[in-house]
Amino acid sequence: MQTLLSLILVLNIVFFSLLVLLYGFLMFRKARDNRYEERKQMRKATLLPSIQNMIMRGEKVDIDITQHKRVDVEALQELLEERLSNIKDPTIQQRGQWIAETYLKEYYQRCLRHRRWSIRMNALYQIEDFQLVALQDTVWKRYKQSSYSNLSELYQLIRTLSSLQSAEFHYELLHQEEPYPLFLYKDVLRRYEEEFTKDILYHFENLNPILQQAIVEWIGEQRYTEYVSYVTPLLSHEDSELRMSALKVFVSFQYVPDVQQIIDFQTSPYFQERMMVARIAKVTRRQRFKKVLIDLLSDPNWFVRQAAGEALSHYQDGDWLLEHVVETSKDRFAKEMALQWLGSEYVWTQ
C-alpha cells in the first residue's frame, strides 16, 4: 500500500512539473511573439512615410529593407496590403506592384523553393495579390516541375498564372489532354482578361468537355449576352451536362432567341431539363410557355411540377390560369400543385 501511495505521489509530481514546464513554454512563446509584433510595428512606422510617398505621389526613393529579415518583409507586405486593399486606381496599383517587385521579388523566389508547403502557398497568394508579373517565369517553371505536395498547390499555381495573364498557360489550356476540375476552370476564366477569353472561345469546339462546360457557365454568370451564339448550339449537344449548363445560361440571360428550342425539352427524359423549361419560362414570361407550364403541372416529378406552378404564378394572369387548372384538370397532381400556388386566397373565395 505504501509503495502504491509513493508511486501516485511521484506521478503527481511529474504531472505537475510537466504542467509548469508547459505553462512556462507558452508564456515564453507569448512574450517572444509580443516582442516580435512590437518590432514589426516599429518597422511599419519607420517605413510608412516612404511607402506613402511612393504609392500616393509616385516618388521613387530607396527604403531600408533586408529581404532576408522576416520582420522587414512582413512589415512591408502589411503596409502594401493596407494601402492598396481599398484603392482601385490603376496608377496607384502599379506603384504598389513596383514596390513589391523591387523589394520582395527575391524573397518570394526563395519562398517558392522552400520545402514547407505553407510558405510556398503564401508566396503564391502574395504574388497573385500584388500582380508580380516579373515572377511569372518563376511560377511557370514551378508549375511545370510536376511535383506538388498536394493538389491545392497545383491549383494555386494555376490561379496565379491566370492572374498574371500567362501566355504559356493559356496555350496549354487550348491543348490540354487531361482536364482539370470544373471549379478550377471557372477560376481561370474569371482571372484572364478579355483578349485571352476571346481566344479560348475561338477554339471552343476543340476544347475538352469540362472546359467547355466551365466556359458556358462563366458566360451565364457574367451575363455575357454577346456570346449567346456559343451557347445556343449546345442545346442539342449529346452531353447532358453541357445541355444543362446552356439552359442555365438562358435563365441568367432572362431571354431566349428561339422559344421552340426550349419547349422541345418538355418531353426530355431528364427531369432536370424539364424543370429548366419552367425556370426559363418564369424569367422570360413568354406567352408560348403557358400551355407548356400547364402540361408540366402533371409531370411525374414533384420538382418539375413545383417549378411549373411557380412559373405560372409569375405571369400577369397566373392566378386565373391556376384556377382554371383546379376547376378543369382531371390530373390530381396538377390540381394539388395549382392549389398550393393559389394558397389560402382561393380557398376563401370558394
For residue 344, the tally of other CB atoms under 10 A from its CB is 8
CA–CA separation, 293 vs 199, rounded Å? 39
| CB 97, CB 131: distance < 8 Å | yes
Q: What type of residue sits at position 302?
A: W
The three-state secondary structure class of 254 is coil
| 281's grid cell | 419560362
Same domain, 160 and 258: no
Give me the mean pLDDT over the 183-197 stretch.
92
8 A C-beta contact, residue 315 and residue 285? yes
Task: Determine, yes or no, domain membership for 11.
Answer: no
Do both 38 and 159 map to the same domain? yes
| Residue 221 CB coordination number (10 Å) | 14
Cα 218 to Cα 138, 185, 207, 247, 261: the distances in Å are: 29, 9, 15, 13, 22
The domain boundary, picked from 123, 149, 164, lies at 164
Residues 140/167, Cβ–Cβ less than 8 Å? no
Q: How far apart are CA 74 and CA 54, in angstroms?
A: 18
Greater confidence, 147 or 231? 231
Question: What CA–CA distances, in Å, run from 257 to 183, 202, 203, 312?
Answer: 28, 21, 23, 21
Question: Does residue 209 belong to any structural domain of this protein?
Answer: no
Q: Last residue of some domain: 164, 184, 214?
A: 164
145 and 263, same domain (yes or no): no
pLDDT at position 348: 42
pLDDT in tens, 117-144: 999 999 999 999 999 999 999 999 999 9
Instruction: Answer yes or no: is pLDDT of 349 > 80.
Output: no
Domains in the chain, number: 2
Rounded to whole angstroms, what are the CA distances from 313 to 256, 342, 347?
20, 8, 16
What's at 64, amino acid-wise? D
CA distance 264 to 167: 41
Look at residue 147 and tell me if it is in a domain: yes
Q: Is residue 277 a part of any domain in this protein? A: yes
Does a structural domain hold residue 314?
yes
Q: What pLDDT digit, counting tens, does each position of 11-32 carry?
A: 777 777 777 777 777 777 777 7
Other CB atoms within a 10 A radius of the CB of residue 159 amount to 18
Whether 45 and 150 map to the same domain: the answer is: yes
* pLDDT per position as a tens digit, 312-329: 999 999 899 999 999 998
The closest of 249, 277, 250 to 262, measured between CA atoms, is 277
> Average pLDDT over the chain, rounded to whole?
87
> For residue 313, what is the domain's CATH number?
1.25.10.10
Arithmetic mean of pLDDT, 285-298 = 94
> Residue 170: pLDDT above 70?
yes
Its pTM surpasses 0.75: yes
Per DSSP, the residues of 90-150 read HHHHHHHHHHHHHHHHHHHHHHHT-S-HHHHHHHHHHHHHHT-GGGHHHHHHHHHT---SS
Please check whether residue 39 lies inside any domain of the structure.
yes
156 found inside a domain:
yes
Spatial neighbors of 114 by CB under 8 A, at least 6 apart, are 120, 123
Q: How many CA atoms lie within 13 A of 349 on its CB side?
A: 9
325 is in which domain, residue-wise?
254-350
pLDDT at position 344 is 47
325 lies in some domain: yes
Output the pLDDT for position 294: 94
Predicted pLDDT of residue 33: 66
Looking at the predicted structure, is the pLDDT value of residue 303 above 80?
Answer: yes
Neighbour count for residue 2 (Cβ, 10 Å): 6
Task: Select from 117, 146, 164 the last residue of a domain.
Answer: 164
Residue 60 falls in which region: left (phi positive, over 0), alpha (psi -120 to 50) or beta: beta
With a cut of 70, say whether residue 282 has pLDDT above it.
yes
